Structure 1
Amino acid sequence: MLLRSATVRDLDRLTARVFDTATRSSGARLDAYRIDDHFYIDIDLPGIDPAGIDITVDHNVLTVRAERRRRADGEDADVIVTERPAGPVSRQVFLSDTLDTDRLEARYEQGVLTLNIPVAEKAQPRKVEVSVG
């Protein structure tokens, strides 16, 4: 029984590590939320040079691409441990037609890319008057 419990626990740890690695290497984590007439997307991009962030919108598909380099890249370094992910990072988000992507603004601060997309005026709630008679 002890051997089986240890084996199951080891398998659980291995599975968690595989999925965690896949998540970290395939894309950046994000939060999306709306405040009043603006839609925001916060994307974690720690250690990224802001000049190397590429943002495109094509047919309502927002794509963010960047590359995280290791400090020792290109140097003759004797690397001891490498746990931080490096290499290309990308994330795609499908946007609603109700967003005005022509007025999208991007800001990078403390490792977080914040995208601010206004809600299109035609999609904003409006009051309809009721006529009498």
Structure 2
Amino acid sequence: MATRYDPFQDMDRLVGEMFGSARAAATMPMDFFRSGDHYVLHVDLPGVDPGTIDVNVEDRTLTLRGERSAVEHDVQWYLRERATGSYVRQITVGRGMALDKIDATYSDGVLTLSIPVSEDAKPRKIEVQHGGRAPTITQTVEHTAEPSPR
């Protein structure tokens, strides 16, 4: 029995090799929410070496980087869906976050950033002054002596 040649199978394999790992490496699934007086960002980075994780802030842009290295080098792959390479994601964040006070942790393949709400963005109560009568405005006029004729 002869093996049947399927050109689409080879094409699918080539496209997967060329774009599959790049596409998967470019994704960083994340959740972003506010809890009390902190914003929280959870980013999935499974298998990323913690030493390669970099969190950088410039102006209002938050940049996240990480890298996952290939585990096996001298093998014949039959299926390779787990992406290797660099992960990079940039997020432009709005005002109201204290970006100089970010706390970052990496545990169980999840990078967690905790960003405090900035003091300017926190709600505050404005005290309204009140009294029994309206304030009085007074004006004082000083008279100066006119120069005497000579």
State the TM-score bracket (shorter-chain normalisation). Answer: 0.7 to 0.9
2:119 corresponds to which letter in structure 1? E
1:114 is aligned to 112
Coordinate RMSD, CA, aligned: 1.9
Q: Which has the larger radius of gyration?
A: 2
- Bigger relative contact order, structure 1 or 2, given CA contacts below 8 A and separation 6+? 1
2:80 is aligned to 82
SS at 2:32 equivalent = strand
| Structure with a larger share of its residues in helix | 1
In 1, the alpha carbon distance for the partners of 2:28 and 2:76 equals 28
Q: Note the C-alpha offset of 1:79.
A: 2.0
Tell me the TM-score normalized by structure 2: 0.69
In 1, the alpha carbon distance for the partners of 2:23 and 2:42 equals 17
In 2, the alpha carbon distance for the partners of 1:53 and 1:124 equals 30
- 2:101 paired residue among 100, 103, 124: 103
Residues 22-41 of structure 1, C-alpha deviations (whole Å, 9 max, x = no match): 76332311110001110111
Gaps of 5+ in 1: 1-13
State the number of aligned residues. Answer: 113
Identity %: 39
SS at 1:33 equivalent = strand
- 1:125 paired residue among 123, 141, 145: 123
Tell me the TM-score normalized by structure 1: 0.77
Residues 42-91 of structure 1, C-alpha deviations (whole Å, 9 max, x = no match): 0000000111101100011000011111211xx32222210111111111
Q: What does 1:1-133 correspond to in 2, within 5 Å?
A: 24-72=24-72, 75-133=73-131
